[in-house]
Each structure stands twice: as structure tokens, then as C-alpha cells.
Structure 1
Amino acid sequence: MTLPSSLTGEKAVLRLEFDGPLAVLTMDSAPMNLFDLAMWDAWEDAVGRLTARPPRALLVRAEGRVVSAGVDVSVFAGLAPEDAASFWRAKLGITQALEALPCPVVFAAHSLTLTAAFELALACDLVVATPQARFGLVERKIGFTPAMGGTQRLAQRAGPSRARELVMTGDLYRGTVLADWGVVNALFPPASFDADARAYAMRLATGPTRAHEATKGIVRRCLTGGVPAADTALPDVAAEVAATADHRHAVAAFLADGPEHTAEYLGR
């Protein structure tokens, strides 16, 4: 069952819905899903709700011809230099909150995905795309630099040289290229993209939720403190997962039916 949750009044530019254990966050602001103040406010509200009550997985997607054409340039025209630091600190906070969710987060890009949307995609655990989807951090066109954390997260995924290339050139890159770089995790054909992306996310939502949370935590510790930091934390993390009902149930099912068992994970 899908339960809609309006985030911006009568016509939501961003919809938060629930399909059983899977939360689905959909940008729907025709024609370009631009990041104007209303879209950013909706995102801040959405990640606040998801932080307060995390789902078992989250799928981020978009309606329309494009995923997003990026930031509404009028935002830059109306932003005083003395207000820029606090403004972008708040927007970076949205990226950080999305990244900090304890559940698996999947970003689905069916077409053009620019600037703020691409930066949010890079904060997600996994990115799926069509081969023809195009991605870009094109802030150079207005003499700017990505300010929602995209540069450093791209460097983390694809390496610093690739990050400098993409940001400094402002070029657009196909989903196939970013898959080769390790930024896109899976490519799905356009005709079945929505169904494939939802199935991909639903598989995570019906998986061992606490184990997924542990995996995210260990990866985060490795990225911030290296392998030694992850190693230090791992025994306690593993002990916490060992105490979960899903782990105990799955072990029993494995012993009874083998690795292809069909035990249901309940997220506990």
C-alpha cells in the first residue's frame, strides 16, 4: 500500500510515499525539477521526517522528462555574499542528513541529472541509471563550485582526478561512463527503468535491515578513519548484529534449507 505525504502544500514539488518497508521520495516540479527555495525547503522537511522515523530503505526518483536541471539560477542572483556561507551550510546539511540515514538509500536517474540533484545522488548509497542518463556538475557556467558536497563525494567514489575533470570542465557524462568510474552501480533500460529501480530498492528494503545499517556504519568509519578505525569498531558492531532476530532466524533457515532459503527478514 502506498501512503502519500504532501511536503509542500496542495501541489507537492517533492512527494514522500511509503510502499510497505520502502520509502519513495519523488521530485515532481515540472518541467525541470529545479532546485528553487521551495524544492530545498521540501527536501529539508523530507530528510527531517526520514531521520525521525527511518524506513527500511529509501528510493529517490523524479517524475518528468529530466531528473533535474539543477539549481534555479535566480537563487544565485538573489543571494548576498555575506549570506552565502550560512545559506550553503544549510543546503550541505540536507546532503549530510540524507547520507546519515541508517537505511540503504538508492538514487534513480532516468535522464539529465545536474548540480544539486547530482550532489544528492552522490550522498546516496547506490545510484542506478539508464545508459543514456547524463550527469553533470556544471557550476563553472556561472563561475561557481558545487556547494552541496558533490566534489568531495565524487572524489571519494571516482578519485580526485575524475572529480577535478568533471567539475572543472563542466561536461556531461553518460550513465555508462559513470558506471565505468564506479559512480553508478547498475544500469537499467529506459523501458523498464521505473520498475527495475523500485525492485532494486525493494530488495534492500526487505533485506536484513540492521545488518545493512551496520555495513553503512563500517564503510563510513573506513572513509573517515581508514581501515584501522573500521577494524576497531567491527567486533562490537558484529556483536550487535549477531543479537538481531533477523540474523538468528536466517542462520536457522540456512541450516535447515541451505543458502537459497526464503526466510523473511523483518528488520529486527
Structure 2
Amino acid sequence: MTDFTFLQTQIIGNVLVVTISREAKLNAMNSLLMQELTACFRSVHDSLDVRAVVLTGKGKAFMAGADIEEYNGLDAGQFFAFQDRGREMYRSIENCAKPVVAAVNGYALGGGFELALACDLIVASTKAKFGLPEVNLGLVPGGGGLQKVSRLFGPYIAKELAMTGRFLTANEGKEWGLVNRVAEPEELLNATMALAQELAQKAPLAVQVLKKLINEGRDASLETAQAYDRAFLANLFRTEDAQEGITAFVEKREARFIGK
């Protein structure tokens, strides 16, 4: 793995742990951090050694949004270029072939909330806070989070969150279907790793296809999405992993998946 300025990476078994390390700025994203996250997730896309990724932040925040000091004073063109780098970063996670589990240890605000929303699953510390406070700057979310929140919670809750800028707690997020699991701060990484390792044991190609079908199917008609399900199922049936999984089931043993 490439050396990074603002990221720490560690491979544990088949799980890559990526820690955002810009603690003095509450892990706020600047251009370099966005570029590094993009490069990191693109590099792991085709990795045979990594089957799942855990993304977390160092210190008190997962990511406290964009580094406002960086875009203070930018002209409109420069500001939109900054936003485009953010969208590229989110897409690198959304399009990554590996399942990505966010371990939200603290503040996940603005772009940090959008970063968590780009992941596939979220495990949150009881100290986690989620929010879209851009309205307090006279702005709106620009990384796709507003539309995701609207689709997730419905328009009325999305309007309340975005128009007031209020924060969601981890338990509210769990109750509302945003957070998969809640853990005490000292158990957050262990809980997240347990989930990531569970994903890493599954058939890699099937997990990759499931991610794609769910992410893309939610914006398609039900009939179209179901047609994609059947088409990808037919392709998976021809893979070595599928034949191994079926044979292992019949032989009553654990399957040995190789990602082919």
C-alpha cells in the first residue's frame, strides 16, 4: 500500500483498515486527503488480498466535514473543482468492488456524513454524531448526501435535518435504519472488524455483485432491477466460486472461495 500523508493503512487477514489521520483538524477533508482516499480505494478495487475494508477516523471525529479554511476565498470555479474532487472520492468508495464498513467514532458532519453514506455498512460509537450542517454556512450539501438522506428517511425528515442542521445520535441512526450496529467507543473497532471479517469470508464475486445490484437497483424500476438480479445470477452461476459453494453445501463442508 502506498505511503500516505493523512491515511494510515493496515491489513488484518483479508480486511484492510483505513484510518483518516488529520486529528488536529478533526479529520476535515482537504484536497490532499480527498486525493489519497480516492487513490486508496481505487488501488484496493482489484486486490486479491483484500476482501473487505474498514474506514474510520483518528481521535474525536470520523470526519468533521470539509476543511472550510481551504475553500475560503476561492472563486466559483475553484470551489466547484473542490466539490468535484469530493464526488470523485465518494464514487471511488461506492464503486469499489470490496464491501466498505464505516466505523464512525465521533463527528460525521457534512462531507463526513456523506463519506459514511458512501460506505456499504455503518457501525457507530455511542459518541457518534451525524449531520448536514451546511445551512449554517449559507450552503447546501454538495457530495450527494442530501439526496441519499431524502431517499433513506423520506423528504420530511431530510428537510428537518438539512434545514436545521441538527445532529443525529448513533441510537437515532440505528432506529431510523442508517446505522447497522452501535458499540461503546472502546469496542467500536472490534465490532466493526467482526462485521468486516464476516463479509470477507463470503464469496467475493457474489458480494461485489450484491453491492452493485443494491446500489444501482434503488434508482431503477422494480421490474428493471429484478431483471438485473436474474442476469447477474446467471453470470455468477458459471463461476468457480458458485460451483464450489453448491458442492460444499451438498458435501456439508465449509466452502473455499477464491474470487473466480
Q: TM-score, normalised by structure 2?
A: 0.91
Paired residue for 1:201, among 174, 192, 196? 196
Give the superposed CA RMSD: 1.9
Q: What is residue 50 of structure 1 aligned with on the other side?
A: 44
Gaps of 5+ in 1: none
Range with bigger deviation, 48-57 or 144-153:
48-57
Q: What is residue 83 of structure 1 aligned with on the other side?
A: 78
Gaps of 5+ in 2: none
Q: What is residue 156 of structure 1 aligned with on the other side?
A: 151
**CA distance 1:223–1:103, shift in 2 (3 Å):** same
Contact 2:31 2:82 in 1 (8 A): no
Cα deviation 1:62-91 (Å, max 9, x = unaligned): 121222222221123132123333331232
1:14 aligns with 2:7: yes
Return the offset for 1:53.
4.0
User: Aligned letter for 1:173?
Assistant: L
Output aligned runs, 1:40-119, within 5 Å: 40-51=34-45, 53=47, 55-119=50-114
Tell me the SS of whatever aligns to 1:163.
helix
The whole-number CA distance in structure 2 between the counterparts of 1:240 and 1:234 is: 10
Cα deviation 1:2-51 (Å, max 9, x = unaligned): xx5412xxxx2112332232222210112311212332222232233234
1:266 aligns with 2:247: no
Contact 2:20 2:58 in 1 (8 A): yes
Paired residue for 1:211, among 206, 215, 225? 206
The whole-number CA distance in structure 1 between the counterparts of 2:16 and 2:78 is: 34
The whole-number CA distance in structure 2 between the counterparts of 1:172 and 1:76 is: 23
The whole-number CA distance in structure 1 between the counterparts of 2:80 and 2:57 is: 29
The whole-number CA distance in structure 2 between the counterparts of 1:199 and 1:88 is: 34
Q: What is residue 19 of structure 2 aligned with on the other side?
A: 26
Tell me the SS of whatever aligns to 2:62.
coil
Contact 2:101 2:122 in 1 (8 A): yes
Structure 1 moving runs of 4+ over 6 Å: none
Return the offset for 1:132.
3.0
Contact 1:105 1:124 in 2 (8 A): yes
Output aligned runs, 1:171-250, within 5 Å: 171-250=166-245
Contact 1:129 1:184 in 2 (8 A): yes
Cα deviation 1:157-199 (Å, max 9, x = unaligned): 2222222221111111101001111111111222211111111
**CA distance 1:85–1:36, shift in 2 (3 Å):** closer
The whole-number CA distance in structure 1 between the counterparts of 2:151 and 2:121 is: 13
Q: Percent identity over the alignment?
A: 26
The whole-number CA distance in structure 2 between the counterparts of 1:225 and 1:65 is: 38
Contact 2:63 2:112 in 1 (8 A): yes
The whole-number CA distance in structure 2 between the counterparts of 1:105 and 1:36 is: 21
Cα deviation 1:121-148 (Å, max 9, x = unaligned): 1011111112331111111121111111
The whole-number CA distance in structure 2 between the counterparts of 1:175 and 1:66 is: 13
Contact 2:46 2:97 in 1 (8 A): no
The whole-number CA distance in structure 2 between the counterparts of 1:236 and 1:36 is: 41
The aligned length equals: 258
Paired residue for 1:38, among 11, 28, 32? 32
**CA distance 1:37–1:86, shift in 2 (3 Å):** closer
The whole-number CA distance in structure 2 between the counterparts of 1:33 and 1:221 is: 30
